[in-house]
Homo-oligomer: A and B are copies of this chain.
Amino acid sequence: MADETGFATMGRAAGAEQIDESGIGMLGYAFMGKAHTNGFRTLSYMAWPPPLLPRLVAIAGRDEAAVTEAARRYGFERAVTDWRAIVEDPEIGLFDNGGPNDLHAEPTIAAAEAGKHVICEKPLGRHAAESYEIWKRVAQTGVVHMCAFNYRFVPAVRLARQMVEAGELGEIHHFRGRYLQEWGATSDEAWRFEKDRAGSGALGDLGTHVVDLARYLVGEIDTVAALTATFQPGRQVDDAFEAAVRFENGAVGTIEATRFATGRKNAFAWEINGSKGSLAFDLERLNELQISIGNDGFRTRLVSEADDPFWAWWWPHGHMIGWEHTFVHELHHLLEAIAGRTTVAPHGATFEDGYRASEVCDAIVASADTGERQAVRYRSLP
């Protein structure tokens, strides 16, 4: 519980300390635009003092009326209908790309080459070649870059990582990850079913999250044997994929994602089994981590204690936070990196992580297409 002033547990005193600003330019004002804006606005007082104070400078979108209203609603100083206006804007220090997948490469590279730090929604590119190009071009500029795999910033996921790193699970034998949604028959966002715009279906949208957490929690995937499926007649992209995987450290498991799991709203669930213990998680209960150390059964650990990851910013224990706060944590981490207080890796995903996830996804597609198990090969920068 907080004391009467609240500052002891809920933030340190900033006093008259100067807090520098970071000018934000955002592409996209729909689902991700809203989530990111909420993240910037909330971190400015929840994590006190913030590493940099986000200043919402400009937001870009094609529909002038809609983007104008978005600017008013979310508090951006101006709305623009061409993302190039953001890339050129000297008041902007950070470019946040929440557009559809086919708008990831060009604006992100242009922003970085104009000297802006960049964050880009996942999947980084629509395939490994595009992801590699984005990573390579941006890395050459020296700016800070982050691929928005926000589930690394679920407190329970970060706690899991801490436990794995500390050896609490022993040698890892298994990872099984699945991301189950149910809305595959229809969507309001038509671009998600178009091959040119989305690149892939459940694979890029949901599967990349599974791949990224598998890599973050267990290690590099080196082998995949996979199938894909498209249930909806005439659909251009996959509705689901199923993969058996092997990790470099010898662990084996399954990875899958689908938009056709009736009854599962947002069930991004994974389990890790090690020689000493196991962990299990389901995003539908995002404040809980199931922990079994030894053989005594899984306990439901409410990840909401004062010393849990990110928790010092929030509430007394047992008072849940929401899905949207993964973005608060993620963007705070990014601002810390921009401020030079930390690096994006290893807890945030860099564009290299974005690229590596793409390689695994491409291998899944190749295995499904050829019927042959694929070794995943990762490229380095030249």
Question: Which residues of chain A have a CB within 8 Å of any CB of chain B?
Answer: 1-11, 13-15, 29-31, 33-35, 37-38, 41-42, 45-46, 48-49, 61, 63, 65-66, 69-70, 72-75, 100, 169-171, 173-174, 176, 178, 180-183, 185, 187-189, 191-192, 223, 225-227, 229, 231, 240, 242-246, 250, 252-254, 256, 258, 260-267, 273-278, 283-286, 291-292, 294-302, 304-305, 314-325, 367, 371-373
Contacts and interface: CB of A to CB of B under 8 A. Distances in A.
Given A176-B256, A318-B265, A6 B35 contact: no
A6 to B, nearest CB: 3
Nearest to A240: B252
Contacts of A7: 66, 69-70
Contacts of A1: 31, 183, 187-189, 192
Contacts of A49: 73
A253 to B, nearest CB: 6
A256 B254 contact: yes
Contacts of A373: 225, 227, 367, 371-372
A319 B266 contact: yes
User: Within the oligomer, what is the number of copies of this chain?
Assistant: 4
A148 to B, nearest CB: 15
Contacts of A321: 322-324
Q: Which 10 A-B pairs rank lowest in CB-CB distance, beginning with the nearest?
A: A265-B318, A266-B318, A263-B292, A299-B299, A6-B30, A322-B322, A225-B225, A371-B373, A242-B244, A321-B322
B35 A45 contact: no
A299 B243 CA distance: 29
Max chain B CB contacts within 10 Å: which of A8, A262, A283?
A262
Contact of A299 (B42, B225, B297): B297
Given A2-B30, A242-B245, A322-B325, 16 more contacts: A7-B66, A7-B70, A15-B65, A15-B69, A42-B42, A45-B74, A173-B229, A227-B373, A229-B250, A244-B254, A253-B256, A263-B298, A291-B297, A314-B324, A371-B372, A372-B372
A240 B173 contact: yes
Max chain B CB contacts within 10 Å: which of A2, A45, A169, A318?
A318
Contacts of A372: 371-373
23 contacts: A4-B30, A4-B191, A6-B70, A11-B73, A41-B41, A42-B42, A173-B231, A181-B318, A182-B295, A185-B275, A225-B244, A227-B252, A258-B273, A262-B294, A264-B318, A266-B317, A315-B324, A320-B323, A321-B323, A321-B324, A322-B322, A322-B325, A372-B372
A300 B70 CA distance: 35
Contacts of A48: 73
B4 A284 contact: no
A278 B296 contact: no
B256 A264 contact: no
A301 to B, nearest CB: 4
Nearest to A265: B318
A195 to B, nearest CB: 17
B262 A275 contact: yes
A297 B300 contact: yes
B315 A323 contact: yes
Max chain B CB contacts within 10 Å: which of A37, A299, A314, A315?
A299
A231 B246 CA distance: 13
A36 B4 CA distance: 15
A183 to B, nearest CB: 6
A72 B2 CA distance: 19
B14 A2 contact: no
A258 B31 contact: no
